[in-house]
Amino acid sequence: MKAVVTRKFGHAELVSDQSLPALPEDHILVKVVAVALNPIDWMKIDTFYAPGAIQGADYSGIIQDIGPAVEKKFEKGDRVFGLVRGGDSRRLQNGAFAEYIVAKGDIQFRIPRGMSFEDAASIGSGSHSAGMALYRHLGLQKPYDVEDGEGIFVLIYGGSTSSGMFGVQLAAISGYKVIATSSAANANFVKSLGAQKVFDYKDPDCGRKVREHTKDNLMIVWDTVAQPSSSKICAEAMSSKGGRYCCNLPVEFPRSDVKSCFYDATTVIGEYFEYGRDKVPIPADPDAFQFGKKWTSIIDRLLIERKLKPHAIEIGPRGLDGVLEGVDRLRNREVSGRKLVYRIADTPGLEESSKV
């Protein structure tokens, strides 16, 4: 089968020599219909050395087979989407950018009636990332809990990013007073998701203005950008009383009075892996997996009830053959406020049996 595979640092290519992945007992086998890109895709190609590994995290497709240990009530032929760990040096065939993939069954999602494969492909990693950050690490009340946010401020730094836009929606659904940062061009989009106030991150006084707006009461921050510049603004915005800061890439936070954490959304898979170029060992996290199982049911319900919007998408050309051009666009920061999606059936030279 065709797949996008890492060859060396900074280089991946589309190959045609991949075998169908073996099906672990707690996984599902999926015929991929569409894939979506994330900034972590180019970062993994450039810095996470995993020669021979299939890349990609976000997918949608149709279940072909189900391992006997999968507990979620799936059936063959179900339309699904979700998250896998691409660029995995220990499990080379785990990536999404392929004709067929295997995915940890109990943390994948159902595509609701009326939603396209293309829209669904944009949701998996962003919704899992938002769940892990806001509800597991920062301790927010989940949607459908009896209690709600009771008007507590939550800052989503990067409200138009592929994960931040889900964070804005989910925190608002949970009853929190959501504020966010974005570019001025994306401010109205972020407000439409549920943010009460959006601040331009390019404004030199951004942090101070957030603190003034919240009257020095901002104590919960999710930084979806996770760069020194974003952590600095978050530190300036947060209350003088301290608080909690969470980010999805390792970045130093400049305040010792704030409890900070870094997480990798793929820990929700519940398996040991090695992080980054130095292959830092990340132990299996069974609790994260159990959280993920419950979280998927929440997202499934929100989508059925149409309370959660998928990301704005841009469909790229040539399927898997176009993925690497899309990765370059992300690497060069040419994409903002939308997610690049590619249809597998658009891949040149694909066998008819592989098209949906």
Which residue ranges make up each domain of the chain? Answer: 3-123+267-354, 130-263
CATH code at 130-263? 3.40.50.720
In the predicted structure, residue 146 carries a pLDDT above the cut 60? no
Instruction: Identify the pLDDT of residue 349.
Output: 87
Sorting pLDDT into bands at 50, 70 and 90, what band is 220?
Answer: very high
Sorting pLDDT into bands at 50, 70 and 90, what band is 290?
Answer: very high
DSSP 8-state code for residue 140: P
Instruction: Identify the pLDDT of residue 350.
Output: 85
- H/E run at residue 200: strand 197-200
pTM given for the model: 0.94
What rounded mean pLDDT belongs to the chain? 94
Cα 297 to Cα 107: distance, rounded to the nearest angstrom: 9
DSSP string spanning 39-92?
HHHHHHHHHS--TTPBP--EEEEEEEEE-TT--S---TT-EEEEE---S-SS-T
DSSP string spanning 2-34?
-EEEEEETTEEEEES-PPPPP--TTEEEEEEEE
Sorting pLDDT into bands at 50, 70 and 90, what band is 353?
Answer: low
Sorting pLDDT into bands at 50, 70 and 90, what band is 281?
Answer: confident
pLDDT digits (tens, 9 = 90+) for 34-68: 999 999 999 889 887 788 999 999 999 999 999 99
Percent of the chain with pLDDT over 90: 85
CATH code at 3-123+267-354? 3.90.180.10
Instruction: Identify the pLDDT of residue 320.
Output: 98
Tokens found for residue 66: 């189900």
Instruction: Identify the pLDDT of residue 89.
Output: 85
CA distances from 38 to 9, 159, 208, 232, 347 (A): 18, 15, 30, 24, 20
Closest to 244 measured CA to CA, from 152, 144, 128, 158: 152
Residue that the structure tokens 């992300």 belong to: 330
Percent of the chain with pLDDT over 70: 97
Cα 271 to Cα 282: distance, rounded to the nearest angstrom: 9
